[in-house]
Structure 1
């Protein structure tokens, strides 16, 4: 049953988020404008096309609404279409019809739409020649998402074909808008909503910091930067073959490539990507054009030995879980946990893989689909389009111009394509840390820099510090609270401690555990251990006892430097221990030489090939592992 014109309806949760975001913007803004155009190859009958479009628009209640505010909340009111008709533009007489068409399209998608006063859709048929037509579709994202727009596109093609062939037009397949709204309201009052909230709040209870390879924007832009490239049919076939070999959907390889790139660019072991979903779980929702889509966080964990196959397995598990809980709004989760960033944009980048069947024809005329704008980008979005029309993939990257220049965006784009191609050819057992990120341009630039670089003398880390202490002895080297040490003072302290450690047999190929609070003594101790030629093992006294015990047992340090206070937090172990705050040690240090230790002083000569330190992984995916 349809609702009559003038009826006031609630908003879906997705619509409400957009409505609230618009209220925060000053004046009209294009960021929620979405648009595509369909290139129709052949002679279109404009009269029948208009008839088909008028019919489908009349069937699509989501296109009949305006937004109003009632008691501080957003509502939508159904309006009649009035005398609306699609725009028909003939550009065939222009010197360059294609350029003129693209200029018109760019201007159209840049025009803001007023939620309260405008029609929230726009259609135009552009004639470039007798057998070349562009059909433009523009919407405000508050009334239409990509899935809904595809339903409309398919229905227009179906109706136009029937009219051209003089066949009866099948009844509308669309469900009325109020059923979509009722389903959304029912969900938010259901037990499933509570279960979904519980799932998401457990997943992100630790409130991970957002990790991206661009900064966070502070403004909402008037436009976005975009770079586009295509992967041909052969490369798409290679991608699908690699996915079959890895027993994964090819879309998971795209997600893996983006995650690997983000991990490698930032070094973060926790990567959170935004993953758009349709938000439609039943047939009623799948046959109702409107706005229901959602963007949810996909959390992935990285470790140094993570293989591509393990990453794909992790993605598969997370995507299945995400799909089960996809109707819970990311904005709700962000408010639940008071997560950082603007609403809906604390994850970055967003990875939007759109694999829709766009093999459409208009009474036998083939088509090619093109995207112009997908709405709010946030800071960085990767969009991969598979139209299933034999043309391959199109890979777009979109970025906020405040935080990413066009040149930087181009570099990110090329590296992402490089990683995607590398993932396509990589063996699933290959560690993700060995996947090549460098483009040909990056490699040429780096090799050029290496060729032009002056020769570097072979030296050691303590040797570099000692050279700086000689160059600038009176410059401040380290500060902590009210304490400041010059390079000369720090070097002298480190030398005395190093000579004392050497008397305890410490030298190259040994390691010394440092269980010290953050202080000038910690920096002194690090330098002293390095000056002996030994490696240092940092121990955070606040770590759990089992972790500290594992590190000490695994690394077997020759000696531990600590303090009497910190010692109480350490597990019992049999290694030799020196307390830096013990009066006897302080007296011993005053009798040690102040000169830089040399190989004559050390137990054996020191070379740059000796270990400098041992660091342990977080152990978030297993036992911590020591890395030299």
Structure 2
């Protein structure tokens, strides 16, 4: 051990934040547990294993600390190990040794650790049979992160191998905890720290509202829900081939898929993801077990017509910038910008791509690593593990149980994998708006014709909707945020607006442009336009003015519907008449129109809508 027993050291910035959070949560909280197990295929010598582990634990300063608070100041004190030894658990006599091992591991990772009183690590060797062992590693996140755990794993495997071969064990490769603290203090006193703060506060000065697919929680979780699946080696090979074609790391395709999913699910043009980083930029940090990892916001701009290649180029640029400023703590940024909630609620999902070389062996015995818990990293976290051991990828989706029930988490997991596979297979010139989010099961369910709606040889969209409104008036028809409209409410609102549009001369073969944010009002306006017999032309207010001007000039709509808040974002060079839906005059006028269905004046062969292509291969073209 490179720091003497009894030595008192300050906390790192990461440790300080964990201490503060744990004091808020209480001692029984286990969300800061970090754990995994290594499946060892072959006959392990328990005596040599314990000898190797004891030697490595003695080398790692971070495993010897306790936290003490005196006069309002928290410090860490180095303690002797005493008579500690790793647990040895023989499960070979159990009826189902693997099930018994899983139960043991689940109980172990659920045990809380007290920062002031407990050892902040635990190890156990589980024997399932003579040729199969699990090595369990458990830590408090205040002393170890995933990168530090990997350093421990490699060192134990190397020492075990040397002992088994009867060769001498060389000096410890680990840096000392005091060196790690000195490097951090030097950073926080440097111009680099000041520059990093300026970078982050400038990039997020507008405090963009997060476009989350789950609600913000009111509590910190005691545990996470998790859905896990694997991408086999062939799929990982396809992902790497696609990355080579894009001249980008394959992790950027994972980030792109997550950003596209968030953009498509919410309609937001600004997406902020959490991106975990090791925050280890020098050799001392990279060879010292401990906790230094950080989670920083990755801000991206997306449009439906954006080509995948353009998005990957943006990700490359932003990730490069983020990496060069990665030592600035997310908690500091949270305070700088006075953001609500705790770290992890402002940006979600977190995308954690861990590509570490886990192809370690114990005197030739192969291993497979399995993660159990990664600590508190966000309310919704996509974790992708590439162990580089020939087993492919492990893809976990973790969620706070308050905000995402298990069945919903499973749906998000399946769709994210669907988008990742689509991104892997698509051409770089293809617009991201063409990616299909639906899984095969969801598509089958959506395309199934409801048995309670008769199939007619000739019908219209308004006709189908009105039939459903008659049969199920009180059923929920549309939900957006906290607003839900029943079929009757939506139908009556659409009818009032349809009568108003008809009074403005709108009818079959006309085109009505809709420049509205995603909301229940947008759905109401689409339905009202269809009820008049006109076709609707959707306009994204966030599109460039040149594109919007081209669409309005080319389609020549009879009327443009928008709001007072959205109108300033639209070009002023078009000559289309505008109706503002939220002015007092319009609101009053709507109340004077009836709520009954308009007399149909349209036929099935009348146009329903006009959609413009992305224009990635030239001028955008309108398709009826």
> Taking structure 2 as the reference length, what is the TM-score of the superposition?
0.81
Give deviations 1:143-164, integer Å, cap 9, x for gaps.
Answer: 0000011111111111111111
Q: Distance in 2 between matches of 1:109 and 1:353?
A: 22
Q: Does the 8 A contact of 1:494 with 1:524 survive in 2?
A: no
1:289-304 matches, within 5 Å, as 289-304=289-304
Indicate the residue corresponding to 2:63 in structure 1: 63
Indicate the residue corresponding to 1:432 in structure 2: 432
Q: Distance in 2 between matches of 1:333 and 1:548?
A: 37
Indicate the residue corresponding to 1:13 in structure 2: 13
Relative distance call for 1:126 and 1:538 in structure 2 (3 A) is closer
Q: Distance in 1 between matches of 2:143 and 2:515?
A: 59
| Secondary structure in 2 matching 1:171 | coil
Q: Does the 8 A contact of 2:509 with 2:606 survive in 1?
A: no
| Secondary structure in 2 matching 1:416 | helix
| Secondary structure in 1 matching 2:170 | coil
Indicate the residue corresponding to 1:285 in structure 2: 285
Is it true that 1:320 corresponds to 2:300 in the alignment? Answer: no
Q: Structure 2 unaligned runs (5+)?
A: 474-488, 517-521
| Secondary structure in 2 matching 1:358 | coil
| Secondary structure in 2 matching 1:215 | coil
1:507-522 matches, within 5 Å, as 508-510=508-510
Deviation at 1:544, TM superposition (A): 13
| Secondary structure in 2 matching 1:339 | coil
Aligned residues: 590
Indicate the residue corresponding to 1:254 in structure 2: 254
| Secondary structure in 2 matching 1:264 | helix
Q: Does the 8 A contact of 1:512 with 1:560 survive in 2?
A: yes
Say which is worse superposed, 266-275 or 57-66, in terms of deviation: 266-275
Deviation at 1:240, TM superposition (A): 1.0
Deviation at 1:625, TM superposition (A): 11
Is it true that 1:458 corresponds to 2:459 in the alignment? Answer: yes
Deviation at 1:345, TM superposition (A): 2.8
Deviation at 1:129, TM superposition (A): 1.8
Q: Does the 8 A contact of 1:148 with 1:288 survive in 2?
A: yes
Q: Does the 8 A contact of 2:295 with 2:377 survive in 1?
A: no
Relative distance call for 1:166 and 1:492 in structure 2 (3 A) is closer
Give deviations 1:235-291, integer Å, cap 9, x for gaps.
Answer: 111111121122221111112222222222222222221111100011111011111
| Secondary structure in 2 matching 1:407 | helix
Q: Does the 8 A contact of 2:515 with 2:562 survive in 1?
A: yes
Deviation at 1:398, TM superposition (A): 1.3
Q: Distance in 2 between matches of 1:367 and 1:553?
A: 64
Relative distance call for 1:512 and 1:24 in structure 2 (3 A) is same
Q: Does the 8 A contact of 1:460 with 1:608 survive in 2?
A: no
> Taking structure 1 as the reference length, what is the TM-score of the superposition?
0.81
Is it true that 1:138 corresponds to 2:142 in the alignment? Answer: no
Q: Does the 8 A contact of 1:535 with 1:614 survive in 2?
A: no
Q: Does the 8 A contact of 2:532 with 2:598 survive in 1?
A: no
| Secondary structure in 1 matching 2:139 | strand
Larger Rg: 1
Q: CA RMSD for the aligned pairs? A: 4.5
Q: Distance in 2 between matches of 1:152 and 1:409?
A: 33
Is it true that 1:39 corresponds to 2:39 in the alignment? Answer: yes
Relative distance call for 1:523 and 1:100 in structure 2 (3 A) is closer
Q: Distance in 2 between matches of 1:486 and 1:100?
A: 55
Q: Distance in 2 between matches of 1:488 and 1:235?
A: 50
Q: Does the 8 A contact of 1:498 with 1:529 survive in 2?
A: no
Q: Does the 8 A contact of 1:498 with 1:528 survive in 2?
A: no
Relative distance call for 1:597 and 1:269 in structure 2 (3 A) is same
Indicate the residue corresponding to 2:129 in structure 1: 129
Indicate the residue corresponding to 1:224 in structure 2: 224
Q: Distance in 2 between matches of 1:527 and 1:42?
A: 66
1:575-614 matches, within 5 Å, as 609-610=606-607
Give deviations 1:393-445, integer Å, cap 9, x for gaps.
Answer: 11111122222222222222222222222222222222222223222322232
Relative distance call for 1:558 and 1:443 in structure 2 (3 A) is closer
Q: Does the 8 A contact of 2:253 with 2:312 survive in 1?
A: yes
Say which is worse superposed, 532-541 or 137-146, in terms of deviation: 532-541
Deviation at 1:81, TM superposition (A): 1.1
1:117-516 matches, within 5 Å, as 117-450=117-450, 453-455=453-455, 458-459=459-460, 498-499=502-503, 501-502=504-505, 508-510=508-510
Q: Distance in 1 between matches of 2:189 and 2:255?
A: 33
| Secondary structure in 1 matching 2:448 | helix
Q: Does the 8 A contact of 2:32 with 2:141 survive in 1?
A: yes
Q: Distance in 1 between matches of 2:276 and 2:36?
A: 18
